[in-house]
């Protein structure tokens, strides 16, 4: 990828689903530092952990995919013949709902704002113009310290992870699997 930057075909290099050990290895061997790490992150998953801290300390932007969970994920699993999973429903969480009501915002907007205030870029999926507008309308309010703490306290860890790499059998034999350990 560094050759592609040198050739002007790309401006930066990004990583996806790397752990601290893997990123550190890249930083020690690369000439061009990665600009960002795209990883699954939400208020229920991995916002306070060592991965986010490590990236911030090393000037790597954290980009959160599935920042709202994935309400349609079980439909995908069913479609590909995999077993549906029980995942937390962040869009209907009572703690988030209470904070959203105070700010006259949706649960989704509160979750996106939370990530922004932790210096995490969120990239929520959206398929309608109304949802796109809703997702961008997060810059006219801030969460106070008590609200951030309440959202911090929601973190449950791996049980909130939507992206389960084990559903891709070819990855099970990858020398770096599991990627997030």
Axis-axis angle for helices 129-136, 107-117 (nearest 10): 40
Task: Note down pLDDT in tens along the chain; length 181 residues.
Answer: 999 999 999 999 999 999 999 999 999 999 999 999 999 999 888 766 789 999 999 999 999 999 998 777 778 778 888 788 787 888 999 999 999 999 999 999 999 999 999 999 999 988 899 999 999 999 999 999 999 999 999 988 777 788 777 777 888 888 887 766 5
pLDDT score at 134: 95
pTM of this structure: 0.88
pLDDT score at 67: 94
- For the chain, domains (ranges, CATH) are 1-171 (3.20.20.100)
Own/partner pairs, 33-36, CB within 8 angstroms, 24+ separation: 33/58, 33/59, 33/60, 34/60, 35/60, 35/61, 36/12, 36/60, 36/61, 36/62, 36/63, 36/121
């Amino acid at each position: 990828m560094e050759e592609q930057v040198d050739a002007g075909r790309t401006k930066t290099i990004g990583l996806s689903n790397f752990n601290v050990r893997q990123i550190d290895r890249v930083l020690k061997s690369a000439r061009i530092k990665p600009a960002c790490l795209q990883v699954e992150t939400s208020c229920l998953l991995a916002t306070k952990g060592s991965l986010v801290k490590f990236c911030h300390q090393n000037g790597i932007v954290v980009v959160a995919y599935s920042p709202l969970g994935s309400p349609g994920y079980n439909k995908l699993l069913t479609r590909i013949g995999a077993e549906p999973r029980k995942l937390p429903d962040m869009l209907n969480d009572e703690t988030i709902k209470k904070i959203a009501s105070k700010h006259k915002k949706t649960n989704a907007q509160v979750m996106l704002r939370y990530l922004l205030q932790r210096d995490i870029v969120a990239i929520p999926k959206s398929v309608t113009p109304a949802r796109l507008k809703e997702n961008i309308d997060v810059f006219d309010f801030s969460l106070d310290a008590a609200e951030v703490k309440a959202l911090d306290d929601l973190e449950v860890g791996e049980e909130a992870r939507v992206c389960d790499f084990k559903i891709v059998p070819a990855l099970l034999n990858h020398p770096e699997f599991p990627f997030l350990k």
